[in-house]
Amino acid sequence: MSRLAVFDFDRTIVDDDSDATIINKLREKKPPPEFDSSSHDWTPYMSDVFEHAFTSGFSQEDILAAIASMRPTAGVEQLISSLATAGWDVLVLTDANSVFVNHWIKIHNLQDAVTSVITNRAFWQNGRLYIEPCMRQSACARCPSNLCKSVALAQWCAQRPPYTSIVYSGDGRNDYCPATNLPPHAIVFPRRGYPLDDMIKKTLSTPTPQVAAKVVPWDDCHTIIRELFPEQSHIICPTK
Ligand SMILES: [Mg+2]
Ligand SMILES: [Zn+2]
């Protein structure tokens, strides 16, 4: 019996946004390039940001220290560890990048609990950080070319034995597309008050809702723990 728990990273596993954390860090020294809001391509912009970081004298250590300092959302480490212990596959699916996500996961001792990370590929070369798109897709018109999380999830599931349970936790606009493709027996956990929560509420109020999965909004991950591990949640979070 295989089960899959999918997590977004920014504002879901971490309480912050990793790209914004680095951009704000750069701002302390020299204004970084502005994002052209008419563009849908975030990855080339982050490539410019990394070039700016390099020419402004930010070292690999500076950038990784800023990433490591991002706070986890309340309960997320317990949640991911409990899922792994119970034999779930834990997939981190994010439009951040592999350097940020893998570093944060390692610093927070979750690398053994996380089965895989699907994201834009980043790498260091001569002290500068480079980023490449996770994919180049045109199958989904509502997602950017570098990542449709539905496409990524379908590719992941195609390589694995069929899952009996799928749960999905996220906060952002790009988590809506995969939420609409979850089967009725799946659970989607939108972070309360964030765009995914608003978009799901909106579709559920229409005569033909696009989301079939059970919806459980959360403010902290103890809500998700109680939903998935009702028999042990009093042990994991005694204050709740
Ligand atoms: Mg997010
Ligand atoms: Zn999509």
**Residues 184-201 pLDDT 10s:** 999 999 999 999 999 999
Give the number of other CB atoms < 10 A from CB of residue 31. Answer: 10
Domain residues for the domain of 58 are 2-236
| Predicted confidence (pLDDT) per residue in 224-237, tens digit | 999 999 987 565 55
- Name the pLDDT band for 45 (thresholds 50, 70, 90): very high
Q: Which of 8, 19, 95, 171 is catalytic?
A: 8
8 has catalytic annotation: yes
The two structure tokens encoding residue 238: 């005694």
Residue with tokens 């990394």: 50
User: For residue 47, what pLDDT is reported?
Assistant: 93
- Residue 76 alpha carbon to ligand 1 centre in Å: 14
The DSSP annotation for 136-147 comes to ---S-TTS-TT-
What does the pLDDT average to over 15-29?
93
- Residue 119 alpha carbon to ligand 1 centre in Å: 12
**Domain with 44 in it: what CATH number?**
3.40.50.1000
- Is residue 112 over pLDDT 70? yes
- Residue 149 alpha carbon to ligand 2 centre in Å: 6
- Residue 125 alpha carbon to ligand 1 centre in Å: 27
State the ligand closest to the CA atom of 119. Answer: 1
User: For residue 125, how far is the Cα from the chain centroid?
Assistant: 25
**Percent of the chain's residues with pLDDT above 90:** 88
* Close Cβ partners of 106 (under 8 Å, ≥ 6 residues apart): none
| Predicted confidence (pLDDT) per residue in 141-154, tens digit | 999 999 999 999 99
Number of domains observed in the structure of the chain = 1
